[in-house]
Chain A
Amino acid sequence: MYPSAFTYYRAGSVQEALKLLMENPDAKLLAGGHSLIPAMKLRLASPPALIDISRVPELAGIRDRGDRIVIGATTRYDDIQRSELVRQVLPILPEAIEVIGDLQVRNMGTIGGALAHADPAADLPAVVLALGAELTAFGPDGERTIPADQFFVDLFTTALQPNEILTEISFPKPPAHTGMSYQKFANPASGYAVVGAAAVVTLGDDGKVAAVRVGVTGAGPYAVRRQNVEQALTGQEPTAAAIEAASQLASEGMTFNSDIFASDEYRAHLTRVFVKRALTAAIERARG
């Protein structure tokens, strides 16, 4: 509850944030502070300096860029949830955000902070995987784009370099007859995902599955896509039996976390169940 001493910097621009980051190699960026500050209070993290990027104007906001929707890294959960554009085009985002923490958390937490932090039990990593998002990082060598598939590397570890800033997340607008759903089994204590499954399904004119992406969080050390499920379902008639069969593959080849609430075996089971539930809901909506 009592962090060790640190220096506080407030960046006015991305450039300034990067400069501060270069000058203070062990510093941490501060966005919504809702993962970092609790860790500091428990002294699980003791950065000598914080660089507050939450007020950098160009880092926040939701923009329509034709075939893509781009969300700035420090955009707060609550702003995403209230965005009419996001609600219409990417309804899985508000659906997932709805079950993140509580109102205070959603008022403060940012999408970039959540992704950069890569908590194994966080919700949005599964969603960006299922949506096929691209993440933009800004560092000493300029800007680069990282596909969501390559972003989550390990427990609390992403493809970002220590001196890179996540600036925005870009989502392709889904084609017609796409349905999406996020289904979460929340830990009753923390509210975080024991398992969370995100599915985005596009149906062809023939009613068969034209494209599907599935992301899973909470189950293992980091969020993963479930290509085996996707492959099993692509081109199929989306019957209950087909969904069930594909979902059975969801736990294959994964490593699972184990804690006092849920063993690895149970998490594997929940992964299959929640992938099935997410797929079922997404397909229903795609037909909708």
Chain B
Amino acid sequence: MAVTKLFGAPIKRREDPRLITGRGNFTDHIRLPGTLVMAIKRSPHAHARIVRIDTSKARVMRGVVAVYTGQDLIDKLAPVPCAWLVPDSDLKVPTYRAVAVDKVRYVGDAVAVVVAEDRYVAQDALEAIEVEYEPLPAVVDQEKALEAGAPQLYEEVPNNLAFHWKLHSGDFDAAWKEAEVRLSRRLINHRLIPTAMEPRGALAAYNPGTGELTIWCTSQNPHIHRLLLSAVTGLPETRIRVIATDVGGGFGSKIPMYAGEMIAAALSRDLGRPIKWIETRQENYVATIHGRDHVQYVDIAAQRDGTITGVRVRAYANLGAYLSTAAPGIPTWLFGLMLQGPYAIPVIHCDVFGVLTNTTPTDAYRGAGRPEATYLLERMVDLLARELRMDPVEIRRKNFIPKDRFPYTAPSGLVYDSGDYEATLNRALELVDYDNLRHQQAELRQQGRYIGIGFSTYVEVCGLAPSQAAGAMGFQGGLWESAIVRVHPTGKVTVFTGSNPHGQGEETTFAQLVADELGVPFEDVEVIHGDTEMVPFGMGTYGSRSTAVGGAALVAACRKVKEKAQRIAAHLLEVAPEDVVFENGRFFVKGAPDRGMTIQEVALQAYLAWKLPRDIEPGLEATHFWDPTNNTFPFGCHICVVEVDPETGKVTFLQYVAVDDVGNVINPMIVDGQVHGGIAQGLAQAVYEYAAYDANGQLLSASLMDYAIPKASMLPSFSVDRTVTPTPVNPMGVKGAGETGTIASTPAVVNAVIDALAPFGIEHIDIPLTPERIWRAVLERSR
């Protein structure tokens, strides 16, 4: 292996200069001559029958080119696809029309589409379209949706139940019967709105001459979008090019195939002109997926010494009005498989009911299923500690999977790759000076000040793979990743990755990896992603998989390149390949270091091919499709310290410590950034962000005026540290680092707030912990 120079270096992100000076190349920046603008008219009703649509006034407006209703599109577009067909769950996938026909099922459902010369005219035309609705009763709550007599969204989905998924491992009834302590709770994991800075959009350009469709769009996974666009438009995959180089954040919300992008593609083909569609922020709030939204009934069986002997969960997942692309997989596999967390709990019993309601569809949002599992477990562990009068630290220690038991086969069937959970806990305790902090807490309570200390010890599953597992889970795709490493005649290197980073910084970390592997300067490595015409089929960026899977693919391709280069060098140096050593970008004869040549010199010879033997092909590049043997399992301990003002219910953050273990770290600055951003989002779920619907299905938090994305001033300063337990799953020993912050932080904050309120006898408040909820809880106990 080459001497490591860049692995572990906190190099500044090379994508940042262009992004922070406004030179990014986002979908809306692309201009093509003759482009028309598309706008979508959306339903103001959560549930209604469409009686009549009158587009006549809109059609005759100056600048309006065409108006389409759902009926007009039936022959032009297949329904929006669902691609995670969870087996053994009696899954029903109702028809999801890009533009509604007959019936609308949520506020934001598309009812008509305008194509116009400019966006202002399009907006005027939307207002000129008259739609007559016959409103129907709506249901937004997943438990109510299952009740007898609830409004039915689909004839083909009785009781609005899309699936019932089960994971029963071990005998929970026995565990429950034998338990010394039994704890039961109903927990809410409320709905969130991903709110990427760049809303979704597409510029679709169909060339009637060649029959080719090029579509720039906000995608986390361009090849998957190409495949699905091919399926819904009927154009062969080879005639579609998807480009998504700069994407302004996704958090999962840019994985699915959506109506908007599909319609733009179909209409460009219909009209033979480029069509641009860019969401407004208001549209983004109703028409891009939401996340989370569980009601969970949890039972914990334990012994008096704190040992947890079983967990039973009955979860009701709100899927919204239609099944989004990956929706069925999120509250099932990505949730249920992680219910034992970092603990040696032997029995897991989980039932998940996926329910359709008159709300925006839900799908993967950063953490996707794992935050719901982690919050549940970490909250229950704290409640159990309270019940047993144990310190929250001690109960966690008691239950941790010991470090000598890895690889650990969890009752859910997952095999945890590597771990040392206590190490992260110990380091975090040291950083907050735990004993001292507890003293301070006691003193301040005397003065009527309420400080709380909250823990979250977690493990998560990421680096989503392998393909066999994907197949067993009903995911309609593989979970490998592709890479091409191309060394040019000058020795400069272009690498093509099937990952599609959109904020995660892999243009930098991948260049670090490749530069190290090939012994070339960092500056000489160019990373290409996000264009299906340039990159081999790739699975994309989500599930904290790009570095662990995509990075591994690159390293494997580099090793193929090196192997070939070594053979060429050996030939030119007139020795056997095994007598050639590669170090720091240079091949030389074993024992004779001055007889050698650089990889750049080898590359030139590879392309000149004047002196190559017949059995070596000219050129120097390699392709690798990497399918790992397992996922990776990052873990850690987060500790949050808050002060609660019982008079107003306001929470102030005093400290936040995160000690994560993501295996080896390629670029600590980038990992810190990922952790910071993740904590911000998870912490926001605890105290700020929530999607609120009224009983009629109107989204009340439908703008940034009502949906509280935290500003820097609303967050504490994070102290981030790490332990390093490499994974054996990939050659770099790296685990995913994109979601740990979000997964870990919500319960840390909630546990801190509840700890602060302990003197009031408060055991639990459902999230979000808004000031009013906290104030009410205090008021109730003080009465």
Residue from A4, A43, A270 having most chain B Cβ neighbours under 10 A = A270
Q: Are B705 and A4 in contact (CB under 8 A)?
A: no
Nearest A residue to B772, CB-CB: A266
Tell me which residues across on chain B come within 8 A of A103, comparing CB atoms.
none
Given A4, A266, A273, which contacts B124 in the complex, CB threshold below 8 Å? A4
Instruction: Tell me if B123 and A2 are in contact (CB < 8 A).
Output: yes
Task: State the main secondary structure of chain A at its contact with B.
Answer: loop
Are A262 and B772 also in contact (CB < 8 A) when A185-B648, A270-B648 are? yes
- Residues on the B chain within 8 Å of A269, using CB: 775
Report 13 cross-chain contacts, Cβ distance below 8 Å, ordered by A residue. A1-B282, A2-B122, A2-B280, A4-B124, A185-B771, A190-B704, A260-B700, A262-B772, A266-B771, A266-B772, A269-B775, A273-B647, A273-B648
Is A189 within 8 A of B648, CB to CB?
A: no
**How many whole Å from A103's CB to the nearest CB in chain B?**
12
The 3 closest A-B pairs by CB, nearest first: A189-B708, A188-B708, A2-B123
Query: B707 contacts which of A3, A5, A189, A192 (Cβ < 8 Å)?
Result: A189
Interface residues on A, range: 20 to 34
B406 at the interface (CB under 8 A from A): no
List of A residues within 8 angstroms of B231 by Cβ: none
> Which residue in A2, A5, A185, A190 is a CB contact (below 8 Å) of B706?
A190
Please measure, in the bound complex, the distance between the C-alpha atom of A3 and the C-alpha atom of B692, giving whole angstroms: 27
Near B by CB (< 8 A), chain A positions 228-262 give 259-262
Question: Could you tell me which residues of chain B, from 150 to 181, have a CB within 8 Å of some CB in chain A?
Answer: none
For A273, what are the chain B residues with a Cβ–Cβ distance below 8 Å?
A: 647-648
Q: Which of A2, A192, A263 contacts B120 (CB 8 A)?
A: A2
| B199 → chain A closest CB, angstroms | 10
| Min CB–CB distance B563 → chain A (angstroms) | 54
Cβ-based interface call for B770 (8 A)? yes
Q: Please name the residue on chain B nearest to A194 by beta carbon.
A: B771
Give min CB distance, A81 to chain B, whole Å. 18
Contact B705 A190 (CB under 8 A): yes
Report B-chain residues with C-beta under 8 Å of the C-beta of A263: 772
If A260-B692, A270-B648 touch, does A189 touch B772 (CB 8 Å cutoff)?
no
Output the least CB separation between A268 and chain B (Å). 12
B688 within 8 A of A: yes
Contact B705 A260 (CB under 8 A): no
Residue A42 interfacial (CB < 8 Å):
yes
The interface bits of chain B over 740-783 (1 if a CB of A lies within 8 angstroms of the residue's CB, else 0) are 00000000000000000000000000000011100110000000
From 250 to 308 in chain B, residues with beta carbon under 8 angstroms from any chain A beta carbon are 280-282
**How many residues from B make CB contacts under 8 Å with A?**
29
**B 644-671 binary contact with A (CB < 8 Å = 1; else 0):** 0001101000000000000000000000
Residues in B with CB closer than 8 Å to A262 are 771-772
Q: How far is the CA of A202 from the CA of B122 in the complex (A)?
A: 58
Interface centre among B647, B648, B701 (most CB of A within 10 A): B648
Query: How far does the alpha carbon of A255 sit from the alpha carbon of B212 in the complex, in Å?
Result: 62
Instruction: State how many angstroms separate the Cβ of B774 from the closest Cβ of chain A.
Output: 11
Within 8 Å by CB of B704, from A1, A4, A185, A189, lies A189
Distance in angstroms from A105 CB to nearest chain B CB is: 13
Bound Cα distance from A262 to B776, whole angstroms: 11
Given A260-B692, A266-B775, CB of A189 within 8 Å of CB of B709: yes
Contacts A185-B648, A189-B706, A190-B706 given; 17 further ones with Cβ under 8 A?
A2-B119, A3-B120, A4-B123, A189-B704, A189-B705, A189-B709, A190-B705, A259-B706, A260-B692, A260-B706, A261-B772, A262-B771, A262-B772, A269-B775, A270-B648, A273-B647, A273-B648
By a CB distance below 8 angstroms, the chain A residues around B708 are 187-189
Of all chain A residues, the one with the shortest Cβ separation from B705 is: A190
State the CA gap A263–B700 with chains docked (Å). Answer: 14
The smallest C-beta distance from B585 to any residue of chain A, in angstroms, reads: 49
**A188 contacts B688, CB within 8 Å?**
yes
Taking A2-B123, A5-B120, A260-B700 as contacts, is the C-beta distance between A188 and B772 under 8 angstroms? no
Decide yes or no whether B714 CB sits under 8 A from chain A.
yes
Q: How far is the CA of A263 from the CA of B705 in the complex (A)?
A: 17
Question: B710 at the A/B interface (Cβ < 8 Å)?
Answer: yes
Q: How far is the CB of A227 from chain B (nearest CB, A)?
A: 24
**A192 partner residues in chain B, CB cutoff 8 A:** 705
A188 interface neighbour in B282, B710, B776, Cβ under 8 Å: B710
| Chain A min CB distance to B44 (Å) | 13
How far is A125 from B436 in the complex, measured between Cα atoms in Å? 46
Residues on B with beta carbons closer than 8 Å to the beta carbon of A261: 706, 770, 772
Q: Which residue of A lies closest to B283 (CB)?
A: A1
- Residue of chain B at shortest CB distance from A187: B708
A104 to B775, CA, bound (A): 33
Complex-state Cα separation, A137 to B707, whole angstroms: 37
Instruction: Write the chain A residue with the least CB distance to B645.
Output: A273
Give the residues from 36 to 79 in chain A that come closer than 8 angstroms, CB to CB, to chain B. Answer: 42-43
Of A4, A5, A189, which is in contact with the most chain B CB atoms at under 10 Å from its CB?
Answer: A189
- Of residues 75 to 121 in B, which have CB atoms within 8 Å of A's CB atoms? 119-120
Smallest CB gap from A195: residue in B: B648
In the assembled complex, the CB of A40 is this many whole angstroms from the nearest CB of chain B, namely 12
Closest partner residue, chain B, to A276 (CB atom): B647
Nearest chain A CB to B605 CB, angstrom units: 57
Nearest-CB residue, chain A, relative to B648: A273
Smallest distance from the beta carbon of A266 to chain B beta carbons, Å?
4
> Do B280 and A1 have beta carbons less than 8 Å apart?
yes
The interface centre, meaning the residue of A261, A262, A273 with most chain B CB atoms within 10 A of its CB, is A261
Complex Cα distance A5/B282, Å? 20
Can you list, as one digit per residue, whether each of A2-16 has a CB less than 8 Å from chain B (1) or not (0)?
Answer: 111100000000000
Q: Whole-angstrom distance from the CB of B711 to the nearest CB of chain A?
A: 8
> Given A188-B714, A261-B772, are A42 and B282 also a contact pair (CB < 8 Å)?
yes
- Distance in Å from the Cβ of B715 to the closest Cβ of chain A? 11
User: Within residues 170 to 200 of chain A, which ones have a CB less than 8 A from any CB in chain B?
Assistant: 185, 187-190, 192
- Interchain CA distance A3-B706 in the complex, whole Å: 21
